[in-house]
A and B are shown apart, each in its own frame.
Chain A
């Protein structure tokens, strides 16, 4: 078994062990309902952190609007689920909802990539930032309803839809989508997380992944080595957007009223995910899963400190930054853990 395969298996192992521990805690009744409510969000933030790490860490392009793709995945899948709630059984409907959410987010990633990824520099950051805001605002002015005649669509108000009395408004502008079936669960979230880890880690260890990382390290040399720079950038960015879409599907099927609000899909939310990725280690997929889980749960766990909550949170961020990035600390960590390994080795010999 190669070193890489071993590392990948460790990542899957960590996720599975964490899942089993949480399930045991739930079964033995040791988890408060408040904590249970945090489990699904934790998985979709881990998923989108993996997606963003593919874009920032592996491809080396900064995206600060990844929540826009999550938003697209959330709304397209919720729309489908509402539309077919009574006509399709749960499991196939949820699977199709995933396919739709992933496809729509991936398609928009592709469309944005066409003009932007030809350029070199920070243009992707600028465009994704704008894209995230635009998507949010467009959806806020979106009205779609369905009645016996079919779909109605308006950008003005719900009255403009001209629906029959028995009609059903699906997307109600800024009020969003209400009553999406609650299909997301911790188990589904963990499965989606495992699949996205599988896709991203396998991609990294393939021909395409090496080409993508080569572009990150030196695009001039990559071009001279015969790598299709624009093509591979498009590929990585589209996959990243599609995985963010999957996180959006989990999101929308876990919430009663889905609105395109800044709290979930705005600039700050995108930056928060970028924080997960940076503190977990850029290019370190396992790190971003762990960081997403810890940093998502932390503010909730710190509620006991009331007013000092955000103060402690920011101190934790600084400490994590130093531990993960300071060369001196990394050196110290290597020495200490190296010594531990030596001791263990010596024991085995004895």
Chain B
């Protein structure tokens, strides 16, 4: 059974049908790419999958569980984590605390224990710190764990955003244009990071990207969106050779 199974997903804003009859099937462990021209509705699909928008029609199943119309928070708890096109970190908090916010659903103590710093507070905080440092080490951010997130260089902010998403222990990771604004070196490093996430956490990833080098380099399957509709779906090589895709998006 597919990990993510989306069928007939549609949403309209006024008269504009932003996403129309969208379907996708992602198997566990796959690295799936979602591409298309600007305004095709890629980020809208992400917002539908994460509950920011509620679809007019359609059904979204994660691991067999119907998550259509659930709230963003419930969907995150069900197992979808995401990053954003314009980086959204907790800027005035240290790097390690950004990750610890992501961990707070898994490492719990009551509010009273938190205010009094008693009971299981010390033990759980210690476990939380260790887990956060382990995660940061994977992303090579452990040296800067006390730096404010806002003071990190751009590439590391991207990494931290992925680390924070991974801290929620998701089944599916959504990356919204992770390579936006990066130079070729940074993009190369990002590709390594994504490969590392797959290997280390056995993660299923769906990503939106415009950088064709990254897409053709790491994605196994692609879906091309155009004007809110699925133009083409399948193996990366076949999709990129499709004449319709070339006319609509890649250019001759």
Contacts and interface: CB of A to CB of B under 8 A. Distances in A.
Contact of A218 (B82, B89, B100, B107): B89
Contact of B101 (A203, A210, A220): A210
A218 B93 CA distance: 11
B88 A218 contact: yes
Interface stretch (A88-96, A159-167, A224-232): A224-232
A347 interface: no
A217 B91 contact: yes
B50 interface: yes
Interface string B73-99: 100110001101000111111000110
Contacts of A203: 114-115
A192 to B, nearest CB: 16
B98 to A, nearest CB: 8
Given A202-B115, A206-B117, A227 B90 contact: no
Given A207-B109, A211-B104, A223 B73 contact: yes
Contacts of B121: 206
Interface in B96-145: 97-98, 100-102, 104-105, 107-109, 111, 114-117, 121, 124, 128
A225 B102 contact: yes
Contacts of B93: 210, 213-214, 217
Nearest to A203: B115
Contacts of A210: 93, 97, 100-101, 104
A224 B52 CA distance: 9
B114 A206 contact: yes
Contacts of A202: 114-117
A214 B90 contact: yes
A228 B91 contact: no
A224 B89 contact: no
A1 to B, nearest CB: 13
B150 to A, nearest CB: 9
B229 to A, nearest CB: 26
B236 interface: no
A211 B73 contact: no
Given A206-B121, A211-B101, A220 B115 contact: no
B216 to A, nearest CB: 28
B72 interface: yes
Q: Which of A209, A213, A221 has the most CB of B within 10 A?
A: A221
B159 to A, nearest CB: 15
Closest 4 CB pairs of A and B: A206-B114, A226-B76, A221-B88, A217-B90
10 contacts: A208-B111, A209-B114, A210-B97, A213-B90, A217-B89, A217-B90, A218-B91, A225-B102, A225-B165, A225-B167
